[in-house]
Amino acid sequence: MVSALRAFCKTMLLPAAMSGAAAQSLPPVRQLGPVLSTSVEPMAAVSQVRALAGGRVIVHDNGGRRVLMFDSTLTTFTVIADTTSATAHAYASDIGGLVAARADSTIFADPVLLSMFMIDPNGKVVRTMAAPQPNEAHYLIGGPFGTPGIDPQGRLVYRARVGGPTKIISPPRPGQPPAPDVPDSAMVVRFNLATRKADTVAHFVVPNLNINLARDENGHRTITTTVNPIPWTDDWALLSDGTVAIVHGQDYRVDFFGADGKMAPTQKLAFDWQRLTDADKSMIVDSARKAVATQDSIQRAKDFPNDSGKPVPRPRPIPEGTMSNAAPGTSAPARAGSSTRVTAFSALNEMPDYRPPFRQAAARGDADGNLWIRTSKMVNDGAVYDVINKNGVLVDRIQVPPGRVIAGFGPGGVVYMGVLDGAIARLERARVVPRAQP
């Protein structure tokens, strides 16, 4: 109830916030500079990049379960970790994450082993440390949880969760109280690696997944996950000087938290707000439903390969854990003791009336002290990033080429991007072109 009331109040205040931001001037959208170099080694994915001295980079190929170090030309590389026995510390988990440390050192976090491997500037694993709280180790993988890092005081800064990642709504039971309302918020913490103590920096809003569990008279369970394809959300980023930035979605502004924990609020940022009609929302839901169906088809292909070893789609039975993309209110034929999973989408009147300015994991600090936010604005199929300086001023808007996502930064305006080249991924290096002085 509290979460719903807070969202309602924010929605009522949204037009006023937008009108205030609209009075500001928007910088023109500029193209990112030309690609300077491209990696030769094919990868399955480029999820994280750690820039080192001399133009070298450590790349996390999470799809291929490898950590690689490339030279400054991106043509030669060495393997730091993979799934073979050739490396001293194999890539044991299905997921992991890079964390930038001090003095060109890098941490590779393994949430399954609950370990953090320290990598020296030469790409050698030199020691192993215990991860923070076991139930928070997976937040170190980056991706949807933001980009963790080590601040100048040596503290590990990462996002943690308030409550659980989902709201599970079970059928009411006689004599039992209702399930608690899980807060729709997360927090950023600074974790002291020496004392093993964490301090909370700030809380911010994140969307929840609502999961409804229902059981019929035959014992068959229907597990319905309701998704809002364009939820309001906040985000966070760690800047190069140790400042933590909290980006608020509904009024599009940034709060900066210094190393001492004090907050420095800023003005609302200008944004080209786009009002959404019911027709727009329906198109967004249809697109999201197709994306879920495509992903489910890919997963089925992996689960049921043919004799040649190539993944092929096959009809799926309805055992425990089956995924179904049936529309809300429909389901596949059920049998006793089985379970069907259904993905549903929020009603149109529960979706925002304006397109949110960004999604989760959109904010990232560059190597020069700026905050970059991947916005929902697209120009010629290329994403547009808002660049915010240390004073909270929107100083630039940079469009990356189509199909690119920024994976990391180097000093002096260097930008590293991941791009799909057919079935493989490659790393590209570019540089922001300096703005012409008046």
Is the pLDDT reported for residue 380 higher than 80?
yes
Is the pLDDT reported for residue 20 higher than 70?
no
Residue 294 DSSP SS3: helix
**For residues 350 and 230, is the Cβ–Cβ distance under 8 A?**
no
| Tokens found for residue 29 | 């959208």
Question: Beta 371-379 vs 363-365: how paired, if at all?
Answer: antiparallel
- Count Cβ neighbours within 10 Å for each residue of 258-279 and write b for 16 or more, e otherwise: eeeeeeeebebbbbebeebeee
Top-confidence residue, 98 or 300: 98
Instruction: Write the pLDDT tens digit of every residue in 191-236.
Output: 999 999 999 999 999 988 788 888 888 888 888 889 999 999 999 9
Number of H helices and E strands in the chain, helices first, is 2, 30
How far, in Å, CA of 157 to CA of 160, rounded?
A: 10
Contacts 24+ apart (CB under 8 A), 103-107: 104/52, 104/53, 106/50, 106/58, 107/150
CA nearest 236: which of 154, 149, 135? 149
CA nearest 37: which of 404, 417, 430, 401? 430
pLDDT classification of 331: cutoffs 50, 70, 90: very low
How far, in Å, CA of 364 to CA of 406, rounded?
A: 9
Q: What is the pLDDT of residue 171?
A: 52
> What single-letter amino acid sits at 18?
M
Q: What is the pLDDT of residue 85?
A: 75
Instruction: Write the pLDDT tens digit of every residue in 75-133.
Output: 999 999 998 877 666 787 788 999 999 999 999 999 988 999 999 999 999 999 999 98
How far, in Å, CA of 57 to CA of 67, rounded?
A: 11
CATH number of 2-276+352-431: 2.120.10.30
Outline which parts of the chain fall under CATH 2.120.10.30.
2-276+352-431
83: left (phi over 0), alpha (psi -120 to 50) or beta: alpha
Q: What is the pLDDT of residue 91?
A: 85
Q: What is the pLDDT of residue 246?
A: 97
β-bridge mates for residue 318, sequence order: none
How far, in Å, CA of 144 to CA of 132, rounded?
A: 19
Q: Is 204 exposed, middle or buried (0-12, 13-18, 19+ CB in 10 A)?
A: buried
- Please give the backbone phi and psi of residue 70, each rounded to the nearest 5 degrees, phi first: -100, 150
Query: What pTM does this model have?
Result: 0.83
Q: What is the pLDDT of residue 303?
A: 60
Percentage helix, strand, coil for the chain under 3-state DSSP, each rounded to 5: 15, 40, 45
CA nearest 232: which of 64, 358, 134? 358
CA angle 11, 16, 19 (to 5 degrees): 125
